[in-house]
Every structure is written in structure tokens, then in C-alpha cells.
Chains A and B, each alone.
Chain A
Amino acid sequence: MSAAPPGDSERTATTPKAVRLRVLPELPGGLLLRLPLIAATLVALAALLMAAGLGLLTRQYLIEDVDAGAYQAVTAWDKSLPILIQQDNVWGAYEALTSVTGDQVASPPQGASLAVIVGPSDQVFASSDPKLFPTAQVPVWTPLWAPGSLRVNSPLSVASAHPGLSPPIQSGNWRIYIGALRADSGASVGTLVYAVSDALYRQRLTSMTWWVANVTLLAMAVFAPIVWVLTRRMLAPLARLQDAMARSDDATRRISAELAARNDEVGRLAAAFGRLLEQAERARRAEKLAAAGALAAATAHEINNPLGGMLNALRTAKRFGQFDATTGQAIDLLDRGLEQLRSIAQTLLAQTRPDERDLLPKDFTDLIEIIQPCQHERDVQVQYRIDLPNAPIAVAAGPMRQATLNILLNACHAALPGSTVELDVDLHGGALCVRVHNRGAAPPAALLAAVAPTSIPEESGFGLWESRRLLSDVGGTLRLAHANGITTATIDIPLRRR
């Protein structure tokens, strides 16, 4: 078994799509670095592509210019050369050719263009470069011949515009045009071969390429930083949000609230982050409450046992002891107080042990006693009807007691002074049904609408929330209704199956 790094198990668990994505090369740095870098790179690539396109277009245009110039020269020669050939005027023909190509005496030996007139005898009549193509000799085309590089342009491109002239033939560095020389009578008097070296436009192409390259570099130098800065600026709110997320102080909520006001993606992201922060806070508070509950349950458990012993001892004393009236009243007071403490302890225990025992009808009478202080405090009467068999009911006593106690205490607090709180308990269709009525103001709409436990209330309604949570643990529900000034809380809890 190999010792894989911690992240490997995660990688092997990823989906095929995720695997494909990870094949892509990852750029260093975060999104704040990568996006500007990619944008600037794209600017540079676009500039380079444009420069390349412009260079190719320029080359094409220069070649077209060369073709146009060649056709113009050949057209002019086509008018003058046949007469000179018929007059046997070699010098005149040479002058006509060199007026276009340049004189080999005055120009460098390897000119940018040359022209050769081949006479009817297939010998050179005259050429602009007599050293390469001597007069009165069969021409040797080696200087113009570049084996393997011969390419003929489409004949249709020039056939209509220049009858009698061949399409350009590309041979190495030479671009060759061949035309028939005809006398006025139409008889052929020779053939003209005109070759233009790409040196004719290479210098201009180099010059233009140099300019295009410089302009491109200048554009890149100007626009790449601008794009970089703009992208960074656009991503700045995201960076601020990231910074806020990395912190865990008050500024986090403040910054996310500020950014949530933006009407863009960052604003929506900040709003979502704000909601996430709220949920996390609620969860933290719930955890805190759960811990407090666990502590209370543990405390109740520790109190419950000695409390039982104390009650036993007190009641034994009451049963077998002789006390004067004052002592008897004190002992009764102790008895009621200890009993109330035990009830509270048992209620707390019920939260941690929901299926501790089945519910007894007596549990409801206990609750009536527990709320007596509240009754007195609020000047409220309590009426109850407990229509249950005198036997254990298959319902978890703890949650049921606590939920009913919470409802009764809520009703007691919400009831109008002097009014009556009614408790009605019965079995209905395989479920225990508990209803508590009180006359008073309507509870908040949110509490009325809820059925299942939702989020923890921040201010009021904690008792109801707790009741719903306890009941939901054992499959029960709590509904609130208000009509005609009377608020009704209804608990339905199915009987447990044996």
C-alpha cells in the first residue's frame, strides 16, 4: 500500500469532467492575476495576428503592384519592340528594354528585373543583361530557372485583360511574364520574357514590415497595460470581497453589505455571502443552545436523584412525624418547592431522553401545577379537560410535557388578565391531541404560518420554536391559529407503535 498524499484521495474521487478540466495547464496565482494576464496576452496575440495579417496583405498588394507594373511595361514593349525587331535595330531594342529594367553598365550586375527578346530564329535578339543572355545566341534560362519552385498563377486571371501574355510564373525569386511580340500584320516577330526579382519589392516589404512591427509593439506596449489595469480595476471589488471573506471580524459583514448594494455579479455574490454569514451565525447560536441544553440536562440528572431522596425523606417525616402548625406549613412549603424542582429537573431530562417513558394523564395535572406561578402573576384562570384512559399513553412523556408546558406558559403570558386558559386533551384517530386556547392578541404571522421548526427566532417565539423542535423529534406537530380574539395551539402526536 502506497502512502498517497492527502489530496490524492480527493482527486481519485472527482468526476470525469473535473478530471478533464484539471488537464488544462494551471496558471500561477489567483484569478486576480490570471484574468489580467490572460487579457493582456490576448491583446498581444490579437495585435500579433493583425500584424501578421497586415504583413501578408502588404506582400500580396506589392506582388499585385509588380504584376501591374509588368503588364504595363509589356504592353508598352508590345507596341515598340516589333518595329525595332523588324528594323533589325538591336540597340534600339536594348534601349527600350533597359529604359525599364535599368542599364547593366550603370546598375548593379544583378538587377531587380531583366528582359529578353527571343527572335524568330530562337536566338536572343537583345536583352537587358547581355552578359546573361548574349545577343545572337540561343538563350540559356538557367539564371531564371529554380527547379522545384516553379508555380504558375491561374491563366484565367490575365487571359482577358492581357491577351497574348502568359500568367505570372513564379520561379524561385523571379516572377516571369512571357508575351508574344507581333507585327501589325499579326505575324509573330519574337517572344518577350520579362522577369522581375522579388528584390524589387522585398525592400519595401521589409520597410513596411518594420513599421507594422513597430506599430504593433507600440500598440501592445500601450494597450496591454491599459487592459491589465482595467481588468484589475474591474476585479477590485472581487478582491475586496475575497479580503472580507478572509477576515472574521465586524468588517466582514460591513464590507459584504457594502458590496451587496452593487447591481452586478459581485453584488449578488456579496449578497449570497451575507446570507451565508447569517446562516452560519444561526448555526453557531443553535450549537450554543444545544450545548446549554446538554449542560442543563446533565445538571438536571445530577439534581434529580438527591432531590428524590430529599422528597422521600420529607414525606416520610410528614407521614410519621408530629409537627406544630408552623413547622407543618414550612414542611408543606418545602414539599411543594422540592416537587417543583423535581418537575423542572424531569422536564430537562425529558429533552435528552425523549422516549424515556410513556405519557400519563397525571403529567398534564403536573403541568397545571407548574404554571400556577404564572397564573397568579398574570391573573389568569386555567380550565382543563383531560379525556384519557387512566393508563400510559404511547407517547414520549418528556417532549410532550415540555412542549405542552411551553404552550401553556406562552398562553398564560399571552392571555388577557382575568381571562381563562383552556387545556383540552384527548385521543383522536390514533393520535394524542392537545389544544390550548387563550384570549389575547394574535401571535406574529410568521409563527402562525409555521408548522415545522424553522430557524431559531431572534427575539420572541423561542418557546414555540423549542416545542416544535421537540415534537418534530417524536413525529408530532404544532399548529397555531387565531380567530375571534382566541388563539389556539394544537399539538398532534401519533401514538408510538409497540
Chain B
Amino acid sequence: MNRRDLLGFSASLALSSLPLRAQTLPRGAAFRFGVTDVFLHDGAIHLLQDYLQSRLGMPVQILQKSSYQEALEALRSDEMEAAWICGFPYVVARGFVRLCAQPGWHGQPWYRSYLITGAARTQAHSIVDLRGDVFAFDDPLSNSGYLVPVVALRALGQTPQSFFRRTFYTYSLHKVVEAVGSGLADSGTVDGYIWEVLMKRQSQAALKTRIVAKSRHYGFPPVVTRKNLDTALHTRLQSVLLSAKNDVQGRGLLRSLDLQDFLLPQESWFDGIAELARVLDGTHSPIPLSAIYASA
């Protein structure tokens, strides 16, 4: 997906932000919860499903989507009730989704975008040092896996096509790590939460990479529901997630996700991403590189 496609998709989502009629689920119907590759293993998905079923008191179906666009399409077309998506898709889809809960990594609603490269490449310390690389993006609707480095390049007056020798999408954050670890890509951009978890689990791919630069903090990927979902159901889901830390099953789920708790989300936490999105749209002047990447 190029920039033109992305902007087109954002416009179509904006049209969908008209007032929506609240919907309740038919009796016996499953609550459909969408996930993307934030989940690193099937075990966590099953834990989530079990937890939600037991707490919501209704069948829960977990739908794994291969891209954020696919997840947003499913939310907009009422094929899903809720989803755990990235902050950039949320900003794009604010017209038809609303914040439900905010995972707290280290108890905070923040995370960073990491620029990574091969572990042996010790001389790269900035995105500037990655010029001419084969560069791996996650998803064109990913904040950490696309938006942050692209807006950073704007500060340099560059586009991915002009700055890198070659780019490609993996549509998975941990696959960006694998692409860089295997050498398929010289460098890539990844969610700091994912990279840290992989390192914690001694992933062979992650161990073959190192961090070039870390961005400043952005809002952690939130759990959202479609706006036309019955408010009571939205509130029940929010309550269930926010109380996860209070029982054994919930703590097991949080532990499997390397999270501490779920927080009550705030719109302001995504202002930074919204600013980056406006830069991408051209409605905002470029942001200095130092204001995007803090350090390695």
C-alpha cells in the first residue's frame, strides 16, 4: 500500500464516521474480538478467549486479521465487535471506533518505535545511517512499523523510496525482526514492546538484531470497539479488561502478554500519533528528527 492508497483508505473511513445506530448482538451470537500479530503465540489468544467468555458470560470468537486494514474493514462492516489494533489505525478510524481499554506496558500507556538492524552492524546509530538499506516495514497502517520512520524521513526531505534501496512489508511486527535477523532486510522498524518481549524470550531472530534508535513515546496499541456497538456491551468489555489484574485468570492473561494491566484510555494519549498522521497527510509541517527519535 502506497501513500495514495493510504490516504484514500483514510478518506473512506472518514465517510464512515457518520452517526451510527447502536446494535445489540442477537441472542446466542458470539462476541467477535479481532486481533493482529501483537499476539506472539496461540496460547495467549486462547487465554484471552477463555477470559472474555467467562467474564462476559457469552461465547467469544477470536478473529485473527492479517493486516490493520483488514481489521478496520471488519469493524466498519460490523463483522467484529472489538479489536486490539495499533494507535495509527485507531487515529485513522476514530469515526467508527472508540477506545475501550489501554494495555499498560510496565503499567504505562506508552510504547516506542525501534529502528533495528543486524547485531553485527554496530556503527549505525540513527536513521541517517540506514540510507541505502533494504528496509522492512510492518504494515502501512502501523504506527511503529511504518508511520514513525516515514515521518522521520520527511524531516530529512526523503521518502522511503528515495532513501532506501528497497522496502517491503511483512504485515507482522515479529516478522520484521525475523527479516532483519535473517538478513533479508538490512534494517527495519518495529514496535518496541514486541522487540523487548522477543528479547526477553531469547528469540534467535531478535538476538541477531540491535537497536539503532528509539522513538519518543506514543500511545500503546489500544483495544477498541465499533462505535455502533451496544454501549452496555462496550462497557462490559471495558470493565472486564480493566479488572483483569484483579483475578487469577486475568493475571494469567496479562502475564502471557507481558502486560501489567489494562487502563481506562484517554484520547490525548494518541495525540502524538495523530500529529504524525497529519504530517503524513501533508496537513502538518514536518517534525524535526530529534523530536521523533530520542536515542538508541
A residues bordering B, Cβ < 8 Å?
88-91, 94, 103-106, 126, 129-131, 134-136
Chain A at the B interface: SS class: loop
A90→B183 contact, CB < 8 A = no
Q: Per-position contact with A for B159-192: 1 when CB-CB < 8 Å, else 0?
A: 0000001101111000100110111111000000
A108 smallest CB distance to B (angstroms): 12
Choose among B168, B179, B183, B186 the residue that contacts A88 (Cβ–Cβ < 8 A): B168
For the complex, count residues of B whose C-beta is within 8 A of A. 20
Interface residue B92 (Cβ < 8 Å from any Cβ of A):
no
Q: Please indicate the chain B residues that have their CB under 8 angstroms from the CB of A94 in the complex.
A: 179, 182, 184
B residues bordering A, Cβ < 8 Å?
134, 136, 165-166, 168-171, 175, 178-179, 181-186, 204-205, 208
CA distance in complex: A136, B161 (Å):
13
Closest 8 A/B residue pairs (Cβ): A90-B168, A130-B183, A136-B166, A130-B184, A91-B170, A131-B183, A135-B134, A105-B182
| Sample (25) of A-B pairs whose CB atoms are under 8 Å apart | A88-B168, A90-B166, A90-B168, A90-B184, A91-B136, A91-B168, A91-B169, A91-B171, A91-B179, A91-B184, A94-B182, A103-B178, A103-B182, A104-B182, A105-B182, A105-B204, A105-B208, A106-B204, A126-B184, A130-B184, A134-B134, A134-B186, A135-B134, A135-B185, A136-B166
CA distance in complex: A130, B170 (Å):
15
Q: Please indicate the chain B residues that have their CB under 8 angstroms from the CB of A90 in the complex.
A: 166, 168, 184
Q: Please indicate the chain A residues that have their CB under 8 angstroms from the CB of B205 in the complex.
A: 105
Residue of A nearest to B183 (CB): A130
Q: A91-B136, A91-B175 are in contact. Are A135 and B166 (CB under 8 A)?
A: yes
B281 smallest CB distance to A (angstroms): 24
A105→B181 contact, CB < 8 A = yes
Choose among A89, A104, A106, A136 the residue that contacts B183 (Cβ–Cβ < 8 A): A104
Choose among B136, B183, B208 the residue that contacts A134 (Cβ–Cβ < 8 A): B183
Chain B at the A interface: SS class: mixed
Residue of A nearest to B172 (CB): A91
Q: Please indicate the chain A residues that have their CB under 8 angstroms from the CB of B179 in the complex.
A: 91, 94
CA distance in complex: A91, B66 (Å):
14
Residue of A nearest to B203 (CB): A105
Choose among B134, B168, B170, B178 the residue that contacts A105 (Cβ–Cβ < 8 A): B178
A379 smallest CB distance to B (angstroms): 134
Q: Please indicate the chain A residues that have their CB under 8 angstroms from the CB of B136 in the complex.
A: 91
B228 smallest CB distance to A (angstroms): 33
Q: Please indicate the chain B residues that have their CB under 8 angstroms from the CB of A91 in the complex.
A: 136, 168-171, 175, 179, 184
Q: Please indicate the chain A residues that have their CB under 8 angstroms from the CB of B178 in the complex.
A: 103, 105
A89→B182 contact, CB < 8 A = no
CA distance in complex: A135, B168 (Å):
11
A247 smallest CB distance to B (angstroms): 86
Residue of A90, A126, A129, A131 contacting most chain B CB atoms (<10 Å): A90
CA distance in complex: A136, B166 (Å):
7
Q: A91-B169, A91-B170, A135-B134 are in contact. List 10 more A-B contacts (CB 8 A).
A: A88-B168, A89-B169, A94-B184, A105-B204, A106-B204, A129-B183, A130-B182, A131-B183, A135-B184, A136-B165
CA distance in complex: A105, B174 (Å):
13
CA distance in complex: A117, B208 (Å):
24
Q: Please indicate the chain B residues that have their CB under 8 angstroms from the CB of A135 in the complex.
A: 134, 166, 184-185
Residue of B165, B166, B204 contacting most chain A CB atoms (<10 Å): B166
CA distance in complex: A88, B186 (Å):
17
Q: Please indicate the chain B residues that have their CB under 8 angstroms from the CB of A129 in the complex.
A: 183
B109 smallest CB distance to A (angstroms): 30
B205 smallest CB distance to A (angstroms): 5
Q: Please indicate the chain B residues that have their CB under 8 angstroms from the CB of A105 in the complex.
A: 178, 181-182, 204-205, 208
Residue of B165, B170, B175, B182 contacting most chain A CB atoms (<10 Å): B182
